[in-house]
Amino acid sequence: MTYLGLVGLFGLIGLTGLLNKVHPSQSGGLIRLMGLLGFLGLVGFWIPPLGACGAFGALGVWNHQNKKIARLAYLGCLGLIGVLQTISFYL
């Protein structure tokens, strides 16, 4: 449970989608704003299950032009662990 909050730090990968701009004609410009959910991962230092939900921020790079960056979006699926743990934490 103590390492669960660190999973949310994978969401900060989504910020690379905001820093490495893609061509404006490529679709998915609004989905890249999900990279801001990566900041929720910082909450993981205080509330580990909620911080793990911050991993959803990595989904912000799912259709990035750079394929190496786009592959990192799969780490966003770890946010599902955070949702389940948050529900069980508060019930």
Hey, what are 85's tokens?
A: 């743990």
DSSP 66: S
The whole-number pLDDT of residue 56 equals 86
The residue-averaged pLDDT of 33-53 equals 80
Number of helices (H), then strands (E), in the chain: 5, 0
Residue 21 structural domain: 4-90
Q: What percent of the chain has pLDDT over 70?
A: 97
Give me the number of domains the chain comprises: 1
Please check the confidence at residue 2 and state whether its pLDDT lies above 70. no
